[in-house]
Amino acid sequence: MAHRVDHEYDYLFKIVLIGDSGVGKSNILSRFTRNEFCLESKSTIGVEFATRTVQVEGKTVKAQIWDTAGQERYRAITSAYYRGAVGALLVYDITKRQTFDNVQRWLRELRDHADSNIVLMMAGNKSDLNHLRSVSEEDGHAVAEKEGLSFLETSALEATNIEKAFQTILNEIYHIVSKKALAAQEAAASASIPGQGTTINVGDESGNTKTACCST
Amino acid sequence: MFGKKAGTEELEAFYPIRPECVAEIPKTRFKPRAGKTLSARRWQAAFSETGCLDIAKVLRRIQRGGIHPSIKGLVWEFLLGCYNPNSTLEDRNQLRQQRRERYSMWKTECRNMVSVIGRGNFITTPIITDDGQPIEVEGCRVTSAVSDKKVAQWMLILHQFGLDVVRTDRALAFYEDKANQAKLWDVLSIYSWVDDDIGYVQGMNDICSPMVILLENEADAFWCFECAMRRLRENFRCSTTSIGVQSQLGTLSQVIKTVDPQLHKHLEDLDGGEYLFAFRMLMVLFRREFSFLDALYLWEVMWAMEYNPNIFWSYEQPDGASDSNYGQLNQKMLKQYGKFQRKNLETGYADKNNALAVFLVASVLETKNKQILKEAKGLDEVVSILGDITGNLDAKKACQEALKLQNKYLKKAKRP
């Protein structure tokens, strides 16, 4: 296994993968980071990590993706899991209705544990198994709309929409961060004008582009 | 048995790999070695006429070269404490019979609630809702709403390990047979019913699978798994805020902090102070870092090193048995302890989180210490550097390194 020793990136974004057991989280991760799909994949124990560096509007963004076990009992380590996460991909399996019904449970967990500004996307995975489908794409869209999430149907096996799902999340995070950075710059600039009466609170995550939004 | 060609080819016959998977799994390093590995002949010779086992002799071999695959299951039963080496063959046959009956009774009890148990099949979708209402599942019907909390909790996890059973050791030809998948599922079902305190947590399938393969009789496999879980179950204990293995991770952090403060500091800086990246190694005892056979080799060397002659009685009569005092032990008795356990006795260091596995992870970290310090700028890189050990670690050498580290730690920790 080779290690990239360069650390030349403008941003590091931590993204978490969540969803029930067996919906394909680990294969989504391996498809995105290594362009691999493993038919013999095993259940995830604890936490696994992988990264990929992509370009977003001319900036180099390193996506550090955390993958975890789907079993509910593993939620005990969530605080470490969500700490510093700026994006989440919530996955269900279009052939298993219950994994879709459980989306509500995952959203609740996100509300309880994740940063309120986390960028969220829902993915209905295994779209290659259309003949076994038990959740229609419309149902997916309806929930996404109601909850205000981006939504795509994906297939890690056929590499459908995996890139797009992550690109969408990363773009959105980038926009939020660059907007914040811009606001901070403006705030800093106006604050430095003598005579200006208002004190502008520059949030702790603004200003430093290198570490803004970063977990590590 | 140890002929020149007794190497890999013969070994593969024990746990055949599906041909299409050969390329994807780590290569096996274990080879039976004459004069080191415990062979079937040596094993038989270690029993007295009445069937008492000279455990010291056996331990010495296993710690030097593991166990030949032809006898692994039988030896594991002793290593894990299912049987007392000082018992006679007749005692053990009786106990085995009793245990098989007890298992069969539990299995009937479970089958009366969920008909699919024991039928060569299993489920991967829930059979009841969170509030106990039956859900129609093909081949398995719960007849009425479930109100008993224990029953409901158990029913709610059955499909969870169904999902894991189909993903367990898929590279092995053994699991191409649905009946064998069902055997693993049945054992996990009964275990989670009996040990409802732990129930089922992902990863237990990885621990259980080798028992199901090594021991043909399902009840025997269950009891072997049950004994293995005695030493591992605290790792799988979940509360709403923690998972048991985190105490071992805490010990690991303590060990690294003591023997290599610089590395510990670096990991802390990477947000890895909780050592979550080692979670899986401890939870499933390196199963994912080794080939199937090498993992078995590692486990038996570890268990031999951790062996304690009181193990059987401590399981049979948890209140009665107590660990011996180092001072009271003569040389002969000391030889019935594994090397790791002996060291703990000598130093009077008793901490239940102080498993050999913790030192094994620590020694792996130590071997990669320079690279981690120099190259790892994130936890993913720590993981990927540690990933290099996959298929590259010799189980016995790794355990020996772990013992050295234990030594170093005990010396340093003792000093004020």
Q: Mind listing the pLDDT tens digit for each residue in B345-387? A: 888 766 665 799 999 999 999 999 999 999 998 888 898 899 8
Query: Cβ separation of B201 and A74 shorter than 8 Å?
Result: yes
Q: In a mutagenesis test of the A interface, which of B18, B130, B154, B279 is the best target, namely the one with the most A β-carbons within 10 Å? A: B279
Q: Mind listing the pLDDT tens digit for each residue in A11-33? A: 999 999 999 999 999 999 999 99
Q: What's the pLDDT at A196? A: 43
Q: What's the pLDDT at A212? A: 35
Q: Which residue of A has its CA nearest to B240?
A: A76
- Report percent pLDDT > 70 for chain B: 94
Chain A CB contacts of B245 below 8 Å: 46
In this predicted structure, the answer to whether residue B320 has a pLDDT above a threshold of 90 is no
Q: What's the pLDDT at B91? A: 96
User: Which tops the pLDDT comparison, B379 or B194?
Assistant: B194
Q: Which residue of A has its CA nearest to B127?
A: A98
Instruction: Return residue ranges of chain B for CATH 1.10.8.270.
Output: 89-232
Instruction: Give the confidence band of B11 by pLDDT, cuts at 50, 70, 90.
Output: confident
Q: What's the pLDDT at B413? A: 81
Check CB contact of A12 with chain B, cutoff 8 Å: yes
Q: What count of residues does chain B have?
A: 416
Query: Cβ separation of B279 and A42 shorter than 8 Å?
Result: no
Among A43, A49, A77, the residue with its CB nearest the CB of B202 is A43
Q: Which fold has domain A14-181?
A: Rossmann fold (3.40.50)
Give the closest-approach CA distance of A70 to chain B in angstroms: 9
Among A45, A50, A71, the residue with its CB nearest the CB of B160 is A71
User: Which tops the pLDDT comparison, A17 or B20?
Assistant: A17
User: Which tops the pLDDT comparison, B331 or A156?
Assistant: A156
Query: Cβ separation of A45 and B283 shorter than 8 Å?
Result: yes
Q: In a mutagenesis test of the B interface, which of A77, A83, A104 is the best target, namely the one with the most B β-carbons within 10 Å? A: A77
Q: In whole angstroms, what is the distance from residue A184 CA to residue B37 CA?
A: 67
Candidates 2.60.40.1260, 1.10.3720.10, 1.10.10.10, 1.10.472.80; CATH matching B238-314+329-414: 1.10.472.80
Which positions of chain A have pLDDT values less than 70? Answer: 1-7, 191-216
Check CB contact of A142 with chain B, cutoff 8 Å: no
Query: Cβ separation of B238 and A76 shorter than 8 Å?
Result: yes
Residue type, B2: F
Q: Tell me which of A101-110, A125-134, B5-14, B180-189 is least confident.
A: B5-14
Mean pLDDT of chain B: 91
Q: What's the pLDDT at B328? A: 72
Query: Cβ separation of B288 and A21 shorter than 8 Å?
Result: no
Q: The domain B89-232: what is its CATH number?
A: 1.10.8.270
Query: Cβ separation of B375 and A5 shorter than 8 Å?
Result: yes
**What b/e readout covers B97-118, taking b as 16+ CB neighbours within 10 angstroms?**
eebbeebeebbeebbebbebbb
Question: CA separation (Å) from A144 to A89, A147, B359?
Answer: 12, 5, 47
Q: What is the pTM of this model?
A: 0.90
Chain A CB contacts of B284 below 8 Å: 45
Check CB contact of A203 with chain B, cutoff 8 Å: no
Would the CA dihedral through B324, B326, B329, B331 be positive or negative? positive
Q: What's the pLDDT at B27? A: 85
For residues B328-336, give the mean pLDDT.
Answer: 84
User: Which tops the pLDDT comparison, B228 or B22?
Assistant: B228
Q: In a mutagenesis test of the A interface, which of B22, B377, B379, B380 is the best target, namely the one with the most A β-carbons within 10 Å? A: B380
Check CB contact of A146 with chain B, cutoff 8 Å: no
Chain A CB contacts of B241 below 8 Å: 76, 79
Query: Cβ separation of B279 and A45 shorter than 8 Å?
Result: yes
Q: Mind listing the pLDDT tens digit for each residue in B72-123? A: 999 999 999 999 999 999 999 999 999 999 999 999 999 999 999 999 999 9
Q: Which residue of A has its CA nearest to B20?
A: A40
Only one residue has tokens 């391996």, namely: A30
In this predicted structure, the answer to whether residue B404 has a pLDDT above a threshold of 60 is yes
Query: Cβ separation of B277 and A47 shorter than 8 Å?
Result: yes
Query: Cβ separation of B270 and A216 shorter than 8 Å?
Result: yes
Give the closest-approach CA distance of B354 to chain A in angstroms: 20
Q: What's the pLDDT at B3? A: 46
Q: What's the pLDDT at A198? A: 40
The ipTM assigned to this model is 0.88
CA neighbor of B287 nearest in space, from B368, B357, B186, B230 = B357
Query: Cβ separation of A3 and B375 shorter than 8 Å?
Result: yes
Q: Which helix (H) or strand (E) holds A121?
A: strand A119-125
Among B170, B199, B384, the residue with its CB nearest the CB of A1 is B384
Q: Which residue of A has its CA nearest to B284?
A: A45
Instruction: Give the confidence band of B4 by pLDDT, cuts at 50, 70, 90.
Output: very low
Q: Please, is B353 exposed, middle or buried when counting C-beta atoms within 10 Å of its C-beta (0-12, 13-18, 19+)?
A: middle
Cα-flanking dihedrals φ and ψ of residue A116, to 5°?
Answer: -65, -20
Q: Domain segments of chain A: what residues?
A: 14-181
User: What SS3 state is found at A140?
Assistant: helix
DSSP E strands in A6-118: the ranges are 11-18, 47-56, 59-68, 87-93
Among B160, B205, B276, the residue with its CB nearest the CB of A47 is B276
In this predicted structure, the answer to whether residue B410 has a pLDDT above a threshold of 70 is yes
Chain A CB contacts of B188 below 8 Å: none
Chain B CB contacts of A49 below 8 Å: 277, 378-380, 383
Q: In whole angstroms, what is the distance from residue B77 CA to residue B222 CA?
A: 11
Q: In whole angstroms, what is the distance from residue B28 CA to residue B391 CA?
A: 7
Q: Which residue of B has its CA nearest to A8?
A: B377
